[in-house]
Structure 1
Amino acid sequence: MSYPPSTGSSGQGGRSYPAPPPPPGSAPPKGTSGGSGGNKALVVAVVFLGFAVLVAAAVVFVVAGRGADEGSASQDAGAGAQGGGDGAGGAGGAGGAEDAAAGEGEAEGSAEEPQEDTVVFGPDEELSIEVVSPQTYVDLDGDPPLVVEDRVDGYDFVLRPNINGVAFENSGGGIAPLPEGGEAPDRAACLDAVETNGSTGTGFSNGSRFCVQTDQGRVAYIEAVSSPGGTGTATVQATVWE
């Protein structure tokens, strides 16, 4: 079969046929647009995008690392403060418990060992008093007590003979008669008797008992061992507390 001669890419008055492909290894014909420029732009875009992704990842990693460090530091500081508070609270609690135990021990010791009253004269020391007319003065604040016929400042009671025997008197009202035959009171009981039942005087006979508050504020317990029934020698047992 024969073909008409070709006049170019399109013949006039005849069919047109595409040009045959160039042989391998030959350069493309001039005037054709190759893919090298497009490929270069694509490569640059990919490289730039990859670089941006790496930069963003690095920023995220750095920020996350800082947050983790700050959170760890905050946790450590909180744990340290809590540990310090627990330690201080424990030490304070232990000290408070020891102080409370010591206070309870002292209170128990005080309850078990009550303080004894200080005795100035006695206890139950016998004292002889010469009863004279008009009266004999006795000062219990001395050691031994002072017994005189003449009036002295600060005397605590007088023994005065009268038609009924002997009177036991104190014009200041510091004498409290007690029932006969009872147990000897302590200082507190005697003071309470004077404050609640004090009088200026009462009779003095064998077995009579009295509580007296002295001029200097001391407290005394007096018991009549013997009474002359008038003038003569009287004997008493006396205890004087500070």
Structure 2
Amino acid sequence: MTANGCKQDENTALADVRPFRPAIAAMAVFDPPLEVLTVAVPGDLPAFVLSGRGGGCPRTVFMHGMCGHGMGYLQAFQVAGRDHGGVLGLQGDIDCGGGTFRKYTANPEKQDQRIRDAFEAICGDEAQADDLVLMGYSQGAYIAERMAEQFPSRYSRVVLIGAPTTPSAARLRHVRGAVMISGEFDAKYRMKEGAQDLIAEKIPARYLEMPGAYHGQMIDGERIMGEALDWLDENALPAP
């Protein structure tokens, strides 16, 4: 499902692919245009990239839900994403039919490698994929939780939205901070319980709710995602 209220050409995922702008990857002194670019990744599907202020490598990774489309979600919080260092949107690697909407292979190691490959294509160095905020919606949240468990130095903070299972404090015990988000008309108890369990284990965590949102929707995305990222900036544990 695409993000609510966000329009995009359904062929964008595989068309209009362009190389990343060198000025962005080289820390331009000016703000790049506020747009989500489709960037080629050798050996993989293109990635969606929203640059941060002043350019540079993205500091957040977003994983969409099952049979979703990542560009629409990034477009739903473009300003917040830019203000917090930019966002890489990783496409699902399994076609749901028609070539536009996709889901992920439920393999954290594979998705981690795809993210590192995307950073190498965008920034010229996969080592830039470190100390990131990892966001996931639905299936993306399920996989993101397991990636944060296995690669805590790379995915040090998480924003999990509408996960299909209650996030586990045991899996997330090494994160520096976490925000759990649910739509008003989704199964809210999972994300609330996840935040409460993390807080009980002394891990900085917060629960937020998207007003009027059903599962898969991103309503009031600028405010909600901006609040989530602001909260992590202010409350996450210090980096080692």
* Fold-level similarity (TM above 0.5): no
Q: Between Structure 1 and Structure 2, whose CA radius of gyration is higher? A: 1
Instruction: Give the TM interval when normalised to the shorter protein.
Output: under 0.3
What's the TM-score once normalised by structure 2's chain length?
Answer: 0.21
Higher helix share: 1
What's the TM-score once normalised by structure 1's chain length?
Answer: 0.21
